[in-house]
Chains A and B, each alone.
Chain A
Amino acid sequence: MIVDGRKVRAAKTHSVMHDKILEAARELLQATEFIDLTIPMIAQHVGCSVPTIYNHFPGALQDIYIQVTEVTIRKGLLRKDFGRGRLSPSDYMGSLLEGLAETVLENKNVAAAIMTYAPQAAAEGNWDPELLQMLEPPIRGVMSEMQLLVDSEEVAFICSVIIRGAVTSWTQNYITDKEFYDYVSQSFLMAIKIVSD
């Protein structure tokens, strides 16, 4: 087999650039409200051209926000994932959610951006992902150990509704950081109570 070295290098460069753009957007959102963030600002921060950004993210800011959110949720769920150890299944899940809450708290403008852009993308007919689906595998995992007579998919769904509601309420300033943290970290336990009869 002949390996096309140029192609491999190009693919590598492409993915490095992709990640750089996402990281730049996340960094900029630390200090900039999402409504003030523009593609040229991101290009300047990365040190690339504006067309390069559109090349990586044809859907522009919407695409960028979706992917930044994906990375943020994934990182959040890993943040306090120190393995099951001696933790009970529900404490373990609580720990993952604490990590998620902490990470989202550090990225308020990312959260505000995705909550704003998602309904717009949906109205335009191109919203696909339910980003909180990432909660499903860990919930399924811990619930298989808990041996409850409830459907893990339903629990994951209610859990995601509570988290979504907490994020919306928090980015719209209806609830404090502390309340947000409490709702998210307790969402799994609340969901189990809601689904159980």
Chain B
Amino acid sequence: MKENFEQQHDLRKQRGEEKYSVVHASIIEATIELLDSKVFTDVTVPLIAQQAGCSVPSIYNHFPGALPEIFQHASATVRDLGFRFNQEKVNQATGMDILKIMLEGLSEVYISHRNMSHAMASYANYAAVKGGWMPTIATTLEPLFERVRKDQELPVSVKELAHLTSVIGRGLNHFWSINGLSDEEYLELFSQSANMALKAKS
């Protein structure tokens, strides 16, 4: 009898956790959807709740850090999408094309989620003040530079190149987010950012 109860209890817990993670994902999805048609300064927690079909307190339950935290998770989702966007072509590429094709895919995804990306440029600073933000893109770039090194000689360490590429990329993201660059210019320059880092260090 007791065993049965515990089993039932566990199932409830499991269902609870499943539901929690479904709601969690739906909040992120709702945020990304809203940002497809609204600039980020017009997106509010009640709007997200409405879009996700949940209550406002439920959002705060999932994301105590409110908008900065939601944007952080949403942009991490978008970024992961961007990393994988040209995956197959990246796998087949050689030399600096590896980086170029990957960064091209990433910037294309950023452009198709323009408002999300612009939100990221702004809100990352809120998150940083509170002590958190996404891991640097440099860690994703390093293994790619590692692959490049098999095809050609590199003037400095892959770490240094990945680091500078990420710095240039952030500069471009920010400049694009204040409308200093058109989408086309941004795409062109962002895909070149690894090449720029290479030139700067040679």
Contacts and interface: CB of A to CB of B under 8 A. Distances in A.
Contacts of A115: 121-122, 125, 174
A190 B200 contact: yes
A124 B41 contact: yes
A112 B167 contact: no
Contacts of A191: 200
Interface in A116-157: 116-124, 127, 130
B199 A162 contact: no
B22 interface: no
Interface residues of B, number: 40
Contacts, number: 116
B196 interface: yes
Nearest to B41: A123
A39 interface: no
B171 interface: yes
B41 A174 contact: no
Grouping DSSP codes into helix (H, G, I), strand (E, B) and loop, the B interface class, with mixed when no group exceeds half, is helix
Interface string A165-182: 110110111110001000
Interface string B65-95: 0000000000000000000000000000000
Nearest to A122: B178
Nearest to A179: B163
19 contacts: A115-B121, A115-B125, A115-B174, A116-B122, A118-B174, A119-B122, A120-B40, A122-B178, A123-B39, A127-B179, A130-B180, A161-B171, A164-B175, A165-B167, A168-B174, A172-B128, A172-B133, A173-B133, A196-B199
**Top-4 shortest CB links A-B:** A165-B171, A190-B200, A119-B122, A164-B171
Interface of B: 39-41, 115, 118-119, 121-129, 133, 136, 138, 163-164, 166-175, 177-180, 189, 196, 199-202
Interface of A: 33-35, 112, 115-124, 127, 130, 158, 160-166, 168-169, 171-175, 179, 183, 190-191, 193-194, 196
